Amino acid sequence: MRSTLTLMAGVAAVAVSAAMVNAGEMGKYPPLAPLGEPPIPLDNKQSDAKVELGKILFWDPRIGGDASTACVTCHEPDQGWAFGDSLSRGYPGTVHWRNSQSVINTAYLGQLFWAGSAASLEKQAPSAAKGAVAGNGENDVMETRMAFIPEYRVRFKEVFGTEYPLIGDAWAAIAAFERTLIVNDTPVDKYLAGDKSALSEEQVAGMELFNGKAGCIQCHNGAQATDENYYNLGVPPAERWEEDGLAQVTFRYELYAKGVTQEMYRKLKDDPGLYFRTKEADHMGKFRTPPLRYTAYTAPYMHNGSFWDLREVVEFYNAGGGENDFTDGTMAATKSDLIKPLGLTDEEMDQLVAFLEAFSGDELRVDPPELPPYEALASE
Amino acid sequence: MKISRFKSGSVTLGAALMCATVLAGPVTAEDMALGPVVGPEINEAKAALGKRLFFDVRLSGDAAISCATCHQPDKAFSDGLALSLAYPGSKGFRNTPTLVNTATAANWFHDGRLGTNLNDVTRESITEDYSMNMDMRLMQERIKQDPVYVEMFEAAGYGEPSNGSVRKAIPEYLNTLISKNAPFDTGSMSEAATRGQALFEGKAGCVSCHNGPRLTDDMAYNTAVPDNPEIWSDPMRHMTYAAFASFMGVENYMNVRRDVGAQIIRHPVDGSDVGKFNTPTLRELKYTAPYMHNGMIATLADVVAFYNNGGGDDVNKDERMKPLGLSDAEQADLVAFLEALSGDPLTGPEYVWEDEIPTNYPAIENWRDVSN
């Protein structure tokens, strides 16, 4: 089995001998495209009432363990609907173990979280609300809390027809709200739809690099600018794991909670990414290609927030990525063959950054909802 | 053996014997004898470790509370509140029971839902969402990050810190919490208390349930203690109870408006276990007011008066709950006896971890070079 894998890797290396995408290869990748309207699952249709309910729930810290941590706590609208630190803040008494991702345009994704562990927004929400270093909530408590909020009883009954709110319906409502967090009128969307004045010359040059010399399109393709596939780029391990006791606690907790082998629990010093889900050795260190939309607002970048601005990210790629425990053979050697030095000039890197910024559009802000209070049920 | 003490409750004794036999093997007259509580042998290193864990807030999900938040040493490891605190975001619906002598109990929690051992009690208390809401896997990794614990686990013979060993060490600490120097045990009771004991074992019939060294038969009965209305008027208490009832499989839990007590264990369809609560220990009562499973009775005099009146009103009330016809003086004697069952407070370094426990975590400096 091992020799087959090695052989396959070798073939891939030969096939893509340089990151540069030549004209003949361009057609291999779905082109960048205007985003259009998000897909809506048949089993969770949108309605104004459901979206409004989901919005309130998104802000409500009672949907969590100690009533301190809401969805919005780590997905803050003024921080790109993400969290502006390398590792997300985590539940009180903890720090999270990965960078918080933006909620914007997640409606289009088929795989949520950095290792794609949730296949829908309806599944992502409970996973975040219940994880010990995220929301640390439990279903019974979260569900019964909602029953003591009269406004929720009315709203859930209207939307879902239940006497008392059900926690599964809360996730559906939150997902419906998240499907309204769409930014699909960026300069790039306008340009790709035919408005050639929407991008500056610098940005157009950046797009050409993106599709050509820089080879970004190989993974960041299609309307979402992601192939939703998994790669190891050699992003270095989070510095905080070496410096911060709290982060070390969480790192080991994830190894324990995600059920790696005893040997892996002892040895791993870097986030094995997709391996957590599949337990396949050749998946170590691989993460899902993130979408590039809205990235102007979501610094820092990468699964562990290693880079603080887009220029740093571009420089990282230009250098041919980096090294981590899964590139140097310490634990594995899974670095993608697509990651090679790009030979971009300073000006070209500026052009790429300018293009990425044009992929972000205006910031999406909403007025925070008013949280409805608890009230006694006993008089009923 | 003073077998005569059982005469007044002979019918009761038979019933208690039958029930208890089913659960915990034959109850002998010796089991029921009043006398000093004898605790288990103690392993000092394990108990010291358990003591530090007991006082460490990092054992709760958000590092806000420790076991000692609700089980305070100067209150005989209760909290002085009618209804307990709970994990932040929830509020309790029962009175915090004492932990003194809990090492020799046969079942735990006011509804008696755990009849196994303190290992399970520890697990339940740490992990339950309304108590400490801790993912024990995260707890283990927190503990491993503290060099003091790493040493203490090693010294205790547990090897590297693990959540399994936490569930052994805390019970070992609880084994040290045994009543000490109660006048009843030292033979230094007042005359009033001595008269009270005679009533306790005779006319008042207390001994039919409150027997053995801890003065409890560890069985559940319905004495018709009034429900605590605050559970239903305070939405945070009510929701905590509703979440509990939902988890415990109580039918129609959103419409329940009383604490169903031991009904959650067997769920008899006729509801006959509704309102049954475990006989509490009568030791250390001096420190553990207010009383009853829901803190509804403020003083021992009121408790005695409650029994003297034959308890409260409930369709399931135990038929032995009858007016006792005790005079004021007799009731005062009973109170004196109850007070004589309290010993020295278990405070001071023998029982309390007095050193500061850090709430942060030092980084492991050569992290990349050492095994996790």
| Average pLDDT for A167-184 | 98
Distance, in Å, from the CA atom of A358 to the CA atom of A32, rounded to the nearest integer, reads: 13
Q: Would you state the pLDDT for residue B23?
A: 46
Flag if B62 and A92 touch (Cβ within 8 Å). yes
Is residue B15 over pLDDT 70?
no
* DSSP per-residue codes, B270-327: T-TTTTBEEPPP-TTGGGS-SBSTT--B-SHHHHHHHHHTT----TT--TT-------
Distance from CA of A247 to the nearest CA of B (A): 9
| Residues of B in Cβ contact (< 8 Å) with A252 | 141, 144, 372
Flag if A378 and B364 touch (Cβ within 8 Å). no
With an 8 Å Cβ cutoff, is A258 touching chain B?
no
Flag if B372 and A265 touch (Cβ within 8 Å). yes
Flag if B235 and A62 touch (Cβ within 8 Å). no
Q: Which long-range contacts (CB under 8 A, 24 or more apart) does A146-150 make?
A: A146/A62, A146/A63, A146/A170, A147/A377, A147/B239, A147/B242, A147/B254, A148/A374, A148/A375, A148/A376, A148/A377, A148/B235, A148/B236, A148/B238, A148/B239, A149/A62, A149/A372, A149/A373, A149/A374, A149/A375, A150/A372, A150/A375
Whether A253 contacts B137, CB under 8 Å: yes
Radius of gyration over every alpha carbon of chain B, rounded to an integer in angstroms? 21
| Average pLDDT for A147-162 | 98
Q: Which of B87, B160, B367, B371 to mutate to test the interface with A (most CBs of A within 10 A)?
A: B367
Of residues A148, A249, A267, nearest to B141 (C-beta): A249
Flag if A141 and B89 touch (Cβ within 8 Å). yes
Task: Report in angstroms the alpha-carbon separations of B117 from B66, B109, B114, B168.
Answer: 20, 12, 8, 10
Q: How confident is the model at residue A25 (pLDDT cuts 50, 70, 90)?
A: low
Flag if B141 and A250 touch (Cβ within 8 Å). yes
Give the H/E segment covering residue A132: none
Note whether B44-175 and B191-341 share their fold: yes
**pTM for this prediction:** 0.92
Of residues B129, B233, B371, nearest to A140 (C-beta): B129
Is residue B27 over pLDDT 80?
no
Q: Is B19 annotated as a binding residue?
A: no
Whether B287 contacts B342, CB under 8 Å: yes
Q: Would you state the pLDDT for residue B19?
A: 42
Distance, in Å, from the CA atom of B302 to the CA atom of B331, rounded to the nearest integer, reads: 10
Domain boundaries, chain B: 44-175, 191-341
| Residues of A in Cβ contact (< 8 Å) with B371 | 266-267
Distance from CA of B198 to the nearest CA of A (A): 44
| Residues of A in Cβ contact (< 8 Å) with B135 | 132, 136, 253, 257
Distance from CA of B248 to the nearest CA of A (A): 10
Q: What residues 296-355 of chain A have any CB closer than 8 A to a CB of chain B?
A: none
Phi, psi of A233 (to 5 degrees): -95, -10
Q: Would you state the pLDDT for residue B13?
A: 39
CA A27 from chain centre, in angstroms, equals 27
| Average pLDDT for B230-251 | 96
| Pairing verdict, β A287-288 and A230-231 | antiparallel
Tell me the pLDDT of chain A averaged across its residues: 93
Look up residue A230 and give its DSSP letter.
Answer: E
Q: Would you state the pLDDT for residue B33?
A: 87
Q: Which of B331, B268, B261, B332 is nearest to B293 (CA)?
A: B261
Q: Would you state the pLDDT for residue B14?
A: 38
Q: Would you state the pLDDT for residue B32?
A: 83
| Average pLDDT for B199-208 | 96
Distance from CA of A51 to the nearest CA of B (A): 25
Q: Which residues contact B162 (CB under 8 A, 6 or more apart)?
A: B140, B153
Q: Which of B135, B140, B365 to mutate to test the interface with A (most CBs of A within 10 A)?
A: B135
Q: What residues 46-85 of chain A have any CB closer than 8 A to a CB of chain B?
A: 62, 64-68
Distance, in Å, from the CA atom of B267 to the CA atom of B278, rounded to the nearest integer, reads: 16
Q: Which of A29, A201, A16, A38 is nearest to A106 (CA)?
A: A38
Whether B133 contacts B88, CB under 8 Å: no
Distance, in Å, from the CA atom of B111 to the CA atom of B92, rounded to the nearest integer, reads: 14
Tell me the pLDDT of chain B averaged across its residues: 93
| Cis amide prior to B235 (ω within 30 degrees) | no
| Cis amide prior to B290 (ω within 30 degrees) | yes
- Alpha helices of chain B — where are they, by DSSP H? 10-24, 29-32, 44-54, 67-70, 118-127, 136-144, 147-155, 163-174, 183-186, 191-201, 230-233, 235-247, 263-266, 300-308, 328-339
Phi, psi of B247 (to 5 degrees): -65, -35
Whether B75 contacts B99, CB under 8 Å: no
ipTM of the complex: 0.91
CB neighbour class for B285 (10 Å; exposed up to 12, middle 13-18, buried from 19): buried
Distance from CA of A42 to the nearest CA of B (A): 30
Is residue A5 over pLDDT 50?
no
For a pLDDT cut of 70, what percent of chain A falls above it?
Answer: 92
| Residues of B in Cβ contact (< 8 Å) with A244 | 363
Of residues A92, A138, A242, nearest to B63 (C-beta): A92
Looking at this protein, which amino acid is placed at residue B191? Answer: E
Q: How confident is the model at residue B319 (pLDDT cuts 50, 70, 90)?
A: very high
Residue B20 vs residue B106, higher pLDDT: B106
> In chain B, which residues touch A (CB < 8 A)?
58, 60-64, 87-90, 129-130, 133, 135, 137-138, 140-142, 144-145, 232-236, 238-240, 242-244, 246-247, 254, 257, 360-364, 367-368, 371-372
Distance from CA of B363 to the nearest CA of A (A): 4
Distance, in Å, from the CA atom of A221 to the CA atom of A203, rounded to the nearest integer, reads: 17
Flag if A66 and B133 touch (Cβ within 8 Å). yes
Flag if B233 and A376 touch (Cβ within 8 Å). yes
| Residues of A in Cβ contact (< 8 Å) with B362 | 245
Is residue A52 over pLDDT 60?
yes
Q: How confident is the model at residue A379 (pLDDT cuts 50, 70, 90)?
A: low
Is residue B1 over pLDDT 70?
no
Task: Report in angstroms the alpha-carbon separations of B122 from A80, B66, B117.
Answer: 42, 12, 9
- Sign of dihedral through CA atoms B284, B288, B293, B296? positive
Distance, in Å, from the CA atom of A11 to the CA atom of B321, rounded to the nearest integer, reads: 85
Is residue A12 over pLDDT 90?
no
Q: Would you state the pLDDT for residue B26?
A: 65
Q: How confident is the model at residue B43 (pLDDT cuts 50, 70, 90)?
A: very high
Annotation: CATH topology of B191-341: Cytochrome Bc1 Complex; Chain D, domain 2 (1.10.760)
Q: Which of B293, B254, B226 is nearest to A378 (CA)?
A: B254
| Residues of B in Cβ contact (< 8 Å) with A94 | 138
Q: Would you state the pLDDT for residue A3?
A: 39
> How many residue pairs bridge chain A and chain B with CB atoms within 8 Å of each other?
143
Q: Would you state the pLDDT for residue B5?
A: 32
Q: How confident is the model at residue A10 (pLDDT cuts 50, 70, 90)?
A: very low
- Tens-digit pLDDT profile for residues B113-152: 999 999 999 999 999 999 999 999 999 999 999 999 999 9
Q: How confident is the model at residue A21 (pLDDT cuts 50, 70, 90)?
A: low
Q: Is B267 annotated as a binding residue?
A: no
For a pLDDT cut of 70, what percent of chain B falls above it?
Answer: 93
Flag if A148 and B61 touch (Cβ within 8 Å). no
Of residues B133, B142, B243, nearest to A144 (C-beta): B243
Is residue A17 over pLDDT 80?
no
Q: Would you state the pLDDT for residue B31?
A: 78
Flag if A92 and B246 touch (Cβ within 8 Å). no
Q: Would you state the pLDDT for residue A330?
A: 85
Task: Report in angstroms the alpha-carbon separations of A162 from A218, A234, B55, B229.
Answer: 47, 49, 43, 27
Q: How confident is the model at residue B28 (pLDDT cuts 50, 70, 90)?
A: confident
- Tens-digit pLDDT profile for residues A261-284: 999 999 999 999 999 999 999 999
With an 8 Å Cβ cutoff, is A244 touching chain B?
yes
Is residue A248 over pLDDT 60?
yes
Looking at this protein, which amino acid is placed at residue A131? Answer: G
Flag if B62 and A242 touch (Cβ within 8 Å). no
| Pairing verdict, β B220-221 and A287-288 | unpaired
Is residue A47 over pLDDT 70?
yes
Which one is the CATH code of B44-175: 1.10.760.10, 1.10.3720.10, 3.90.180.10, 3.40.366.10?
A: 1.10.760.10
| Average pLDDT for B317-325 | 96
Phi, psi of A319 (to 5 degrees): -80, 0
Distance, in Å, from the CA atom of A58 to the CA atom of A369, rounded to the nearest integer, reads: 9
Give the H/E segment covering residue B37: none
